[in-house]
Structure 1
């Protein structure tokens, strides 16, 4: 039995990192480990929902107020001045150190490369620290390439999403002889797809530039008429949705619809639907995994994350990302051969389900936690008090007040946005 503290990235269930590691925590509890979770404080309704999910698996959640939870250079909003954020970072590390001592934690697991507080707290308390990396060091996450020396020096074990990301990080971190791997997990209900009256093309996921739905629309305009209905299932970023709407209007595409945010996206999919996922970048591709598990024929772009998932499962069809002509041909062929594809997808769902079990996808992590933890002493321990001692509580208090005012102003706006989505 190991006493484990997870440091989570968002305190919400709107991202793959949180969803997949929730299932890891459940598995660890089932295997007899003691698990705690720490997440950044946010809005009361988000915290209530998040805490309720973890209550179901008996994992206590502690929310820690912060000015910025991720690295200073990482994506996301910043509150206060640079000095005030530095004070808040130290306060966060101090709170984590206190939890490590109170709960007698043996292993701290940071569930994204975007945070450093857990690594610092573990070093100060001389306990093991594991790092789980979900993100490719590209685009908005390219900043962390400059942090990899810190990551290497302050992790007793390092795990990355299996496939292309693991290979890339192994090249970038030669000092780490072995980078472990895991496959992000998401739970899919066994509920059957509903019957459909007509053939459709569906695409599940938030409308964003990264999800690249415009590429699917471009291919859709090349299909022979009459075209099947094209349905986008999910919420959207307003700027990108305006671009999509403009394209639909200019091309006079009357058979394109948007459902908005759905609690159960697969409840919108029928047994006559073809799923197309044109993302420019994914870490793994949880929606692709869900499509296979639901027995839905799927076409997906060959971005590194999708390739990793495809190599793991082997189902569906890849096309070259950015090649609209190839995507068009694959859609036309899939629609033409749909009865056979549907039959093959339904049969493959059993194979995918057998491969995609928590015990299997997190095997390397489970093996690492099964052995006695003998952490290496990190040089950061010499700065333990410097890194956590705060004399400027009054300044932090003023910052917290301003942050709370910001949160209160933004709460109503967020509620409106989520209701619209």
Structure 2
């Protein structure tokens, strides 16, 4: 039985990268693979709700307490000082190498460009390593352009989300064959509740990146008293305040924030349309979920949405920032709702055929089954330097001193 070790980005299931590859892991378990998932935690617990979810599906989940999980210059707060973070990185690499050795792991897969520990651990243990890239090298993720040589050196295979991201990664690695995948969300088409009025619904965290203020400004321009605007998802406090302040300043009515919901699609009705105004996405899983539920949808033309749209070619797109264009599209969708709803309902079966896990992950699944042998890397010559744990080395020195002291005492006793 082949054993695969995944290194995950966040240790939470509130983002597309984690959710989609969790579904891939479940698929691989059903195919007979042994799967181990390694994820970060800043707690001292060895189990939490996240790890229990994996265990429930036969996936071993190992949580590593860490000072810093992503690259130093990746987005996110830097805890501790540089020395402490370096020690934490080494400890994580050491733990992953031990897991590889103890479980006779055949393949390591890093599920984000933002982490490097799995790549190094795989090289130190002479195992092949796959890198899955979900992030466009732009804005907060532009930092990884400086790390392309490392990614190239420490990856047996590189995969990127298909569409515009895959095209971009191909440009960045002209001498590599880049393979692709589409993030997969496991969702069953559900019967929508009966709605009392037409609503515009947007699902996703209220944040600058999701760009909900643009939709609020569009709703203002629509000026429709017969329509409600509903946001489903948690929020970044500062951006939520920005949205609420605008609503108050413009005296807008019929706008609601429902907060985070375990299954947001339970909140949708048969009179809703979905609008997703994100300024940036990697793919656009909520767009796919809307299609699978037969809900008329409008989405922005950011690169991730465009990649998803290329797969399905269904729904309507508008140019990010073009409020006039979005207003017209929403107006038409509301006024011709019956036809839009019928077309969306009729498309469900086709969407399901396009969006099968075995299809969207076909290149990864095939590469796992036919993986090439490990390409020797010289980093193995400094394994001790990269995995040495300072605390353990101090303990070892203390143990040695104690043993020597005991030996001296025994020697003196014997002389007597």
TM-score interval (norm. to shorter)? over 0.9
Kindly indicate whether the alpha-carbon contact (under 8 Å) linking 2:130 and 2:157 is maintained by their aligned counterparts in 1.
yes
Please, what is the CA RMSD of the aligned residues?
Answer: 1.6
Give the 5 Å matches for 1:9-408. 9-43=9-43, 47-176=47-176, 178-393=177-392
Q: Is the 8 A contact 2:187 2:289 kept in 1?
A: yes
Q: Taking structure 1 as reference, are residues 232 and 372 closer, same or farther at Cα in structure 2, changes over 3 Å only? A: closer
The TM-score, its normalising length taken from structure 1, stands at 0.91
CA distance, structure 1, for counterparts of residue 226 and residue 212 of structure 2: 17
How far apart, in 2, do the equivalents of 1:372 and 1:327 lie?
46
Give 1:68 deviation, angstroms: 0.1
Identify if the C-alpha distance between structure 1 residues 306 and 294 changes in structure 2 by more than 3 Å, giving closer, same or farther: same
In 2, the alpha carbon distance for the partners of 1:174 and 1:286 equals 29
Give the direction of change, closer, same or farther, for the CA distance of 1:59–1:378 in structure 2 (3 Å limit).
same
Distance 1:59-1:248 versus aligned 2 partners, 3 A rule: same
Tell me if structure 2 keeps the 8 A contact 1:2–1:369: no
Question: Secondary structure of 2:295's match?
Answer: coil
Give the Cα–Cα distance (whole angstroms) in 2 for the partners of residues 301 and 118 of structure 1.
34
Instruction: Name the CA distance, whole Å, in 2 between partners of 1:329 and 1:189.
Output: 31
Displacement, 1:371?
A: 1.3
Q: Do the aligned partners of 1:158 and 1:179 also contact (CA within 8 Å) in 2?
A: yes
Q: CA deviation at 1:47?
A: 4.6
- In 1: Cα distance, 2:224 partner to 2:66 partner: 54
Alignment: residue pair count: 395
Off by >4 Å, runs of 4+ in structure 1: 43-47, 392-396
| Aligned-pair CA distance for 1:43 | 4.3
In 1, Cα distance between equivalents of 2:46 and 2:380: 35
- Cα drift, residue 317 of structure 1: 0.5
- Asked whether the equivalents of residues 183 and 283 of structure 2 are also in contact (C-alpha less than 8 Å), the reply is yes
Whether the 8 Å CA contact 1:66–1:88 is kept in 2: the answer is yes
SS at match of 1:225: coil
CA deviation profile, 1:150-177 (whole Å, cap 9, x unmatched): 001100000010111110011011121x
What TM-score do the two structures reach when normalised by structure 2?
Answer: 0.92
Q: Which has the higher contact order (CA 8 A, sep 6+)?
A: 1
Distance in 1 between the 2:338 and 2:140 partners?
Answer: 41
The whole-number CA distance in structure 2 between the counterparts of 1:42 and 1:58 is 24
Residue 118 of structure 2 aligns to a residue whose secondary structure is helix
Q: Deviations over 1:230-274 (max 9, x none)?
A: 111111110001110011111111111111111111111101001
Report the CA distance between 1:329 and its aligned residue.
Answer: 0.5
Secondary structure (helix, strand or coil) at the match of 1:206 reads: coil
1:338-383 deviation line (CA, Å, top 9, x unaligned):
1000000001111111111111110000100111540101222222
Any conservation in 2 of the 1:20–1:185 contact (CA below 8 Å)?
Answer: yes
Shift of 1:92: 0.8
**Shift of residue 2 of structure 1?**
2.2
Gaps of 5+ in 1: 397-421
